[in-house]
Amino acid sequence: MIINFVVVLMSMAFCSGLAAQTITGRLNLLANEKIKLMGFKGLKYYDIDSSTIAADGAFRLHYPQADYGMGYLMAEDNKPFFVILSGEDIELRGESLAFPETIKILKGKENQLFEKYASEQPRREQTLSAWIYLRKIYKADPLFASQKNSQQSIETEIQRIRQEDKYFLSNLPRGSYVSWYLPIRKLISSVSVVAQYRTEEIPSAITAFRALDYTDERFYKSGLLSDAIESHFWLIENSGRSLDSVYAEMKISIDQLIENLLAEERKFNLITDHLFNLLEKRSLFEASEYLAIKILTQNNCTINDDLAKQLESYRAMKKGNTAPDIVFSGDVLVSGSVIKTPGRLSDIISAYKVVIFGASWCPKCAEELSQLLPLYQKWKLKGVEVVFISLDTDKTLFKSFSGIFPFVSMCDYKKWNTEAVNDYYVFATPALFMMDKDLKIILRPNSVKHIDAWIDLYLKENKE
């Protein structure tokens, strides 16, 4: 009897672990198509369940409690339809996921609230922007400035729309996922409108982004993580400030973000890595350098090896530092001919030197070097020499790829173990460095075009 009782308890526990909520519905235009439910995990998404829609459009999917957060339905047309996986059964009916305006949520309180707000809030935002635009006209244009009653009516309507939105959000079920999700979704979705039409709201929007808690687990199941980070820094970048002021604001945001994440090592690495790559992609190098050094000098979190090497490149190879000399070894070519006494980087007599790390297997390297070739003679006339360090491992490929280059090309076939690669903290290709005759780093360019623009501007200014 004791054994049977234990078996029953174990069976109940197992069944409880498998308990799942359902998403059912009917999509009339998607008969016999496959439908799947996807969830979010950090910056990625994953499959939760899938099924085939019946001939009459009916379908059924399941999701367990572990998938609490946001999800989306996807059919063969690849049009996502977002749902809140809050532990409630969901029922919907419509034509197709590609036509969300036809879909009605028949069951699932949080999803009904989500659907209502998703429908109403964009219209409120659009109308609010129109009224704010009118308010500016009535205050600034002498033709309308005397119309005090109209101004008061405009102000009243602006406040009414804002209060209506605030009332909806404040009356969402306390502690529900939808009550956490919608204000953040609203903040993110309003960024472009605020930057363009409602610039007076920029400071409060930036403050709201800085107040977000990135340690909150709900963030990692929301699909909002990347959008929140990118919208935050995009708004600062497009806030109408001078570049110096933009960087000052970004540094404040970086400080607050890191302080928020210091107790959560996994999240710290995930978000700082994403932000660093974002700043690099947008060529916001002063901010990415600040972030890199900030991360490297904190003692609370262990940085993963790949990110640490990437960030160390900024500390060791930042503008103003002296770059390590490079001893040419392995095969060293100029225009396909082997140099018998290759020497080193410091032996090259030139006012400026550009070092490019790349490889034949790197598509971006081929693109950058093809842009460089027609510019090389112009650069050389202005005192700029180029050196290419290859990460190839095959002699034939290296010589075929770099044989046409009229500048020094070197390869020791050690790939990432090449001494210069490690000395320069190269973590990706192409990697470009520009230095003066004494190997003092004067530019951390992100492209050949960046170097060419610097040469045209800086050398012209010096000449004048």
Domain coordinates of the chain in residue numbers? 20-97, 125-171, 177-316, 331-463
Residue 282: which pLDDT band, with cuts at 50, 70 and 90?
Answer: confident
C-beta separation of 388 from 281 below 8 A: no
Please give the residue that has the higher pLDDT: either 444 or 247: 247
Q: Residue 10 has what pLDDT?
A: 37
Residue 301: which pLDDT band, with cuts at 50, 70 and 90?
Answer: low
State what percent of residues in the chain have pLDDT above 90: 72
φ and ψ at residue 353, rounded to 5 degrees: -135, 135
Q: Residue 14 has what pLDDT?
A: 36
Residue 306: which pLDDT band, with cuts at 50, 70 and 90?
Answer: low
Q: Tell me the pTM.
A: 0.71
φ and ψ at residue 430, rounded to 5 degrees: -75, 150
C-beta separation of 108 from 85 below 8 A: no
Dihedral angle of Cα 278, 284, 288, 291, to the nearest 10 degrees: -100
Q: Check pLDDT > 80 for residue 205.
A: yes
> What does the pLDDT average to over 371-390?
95
Give which of 362, 367, 342 is closest to 420, Cα–Cα: 342
Pick the CATH number of 20-97 from 1.10.1060.10, 3.40.50.720, 3.40.50.300, 2.60.40.10: 2.60.40.10
* The pair of three-digit structure tokens given for residue 386, joined into one six-digit string: 């180029």
Q: Check pLDDT > 50 for residue 17.
A: no
Q: Residue 19 has what pLDDT?
A: 63
Output the average pLDDT for the chain: 89
| Burial letters 393-418, b for 16+ CB under 10 A, else e | eeeeebbebbeebebbbbbbebeeeb
Supply the DSSP symbol for 439: -
**What's the CATH fold of domain 331-463?**
Glutaredoxin (3.40.30)
Q: Residue 326 has what pLDDT?
A: 96
Q: Residue 11 has what pLDDT?
A: 40
Q: Residue 339 has what pLDDT?
A: 87
Residue 59: which pLDDT band, with cuts at 50, 70 and 90?
Answer: very high
Q: Check pLDDT > 80 for residue 401.
A: yes
Q: Residue 312 has what pLDDT?
A: 73
Q: Check pLDDT > 90 for residue 462.
A: no
**Exposed/middle/buried for residue 211 (C-beta within 10 Å: 0-12, 13-18, 19+):** exposed
Model confidence pLDDT, tens digit, residues 114-160 = 999 999 998 998 899 899 989 999 988 888 888 999 999 999 999 99
Q: How far apart are CA 421 and CA 424, in angstroms?
A: 5
Model confidence pLDDT, tens digit, residues 66-121 = 999 999 999 988 899 999 999 999 999 999 999 999 999 999 999 999 999 999 99
C-beta separation of 451 from 434 below 8 A: yes
**Exposed/middle/buried for residue 93 (C-beta within 10 Å: 0-12, 13-18, 19+):** middle
Q: How far apart are CA 313 and CA 172, in angstroms?
A: 48
Q: Check pLDDT > 80 for residue 463.
A: no
Instruction: For residue 315, give the 3-state DSSP assignment.
Output: helix
φ and ψ at residue 442, rounded to 5 degrees: -115, -10
C-beta separation of 295 from 370 below 8 A: no
State what percent of residues in the chain have pLDDT above 70: 92
Residue 323: which pLDDT band, with cuts at 50, 70 and 90?
Answer: very high
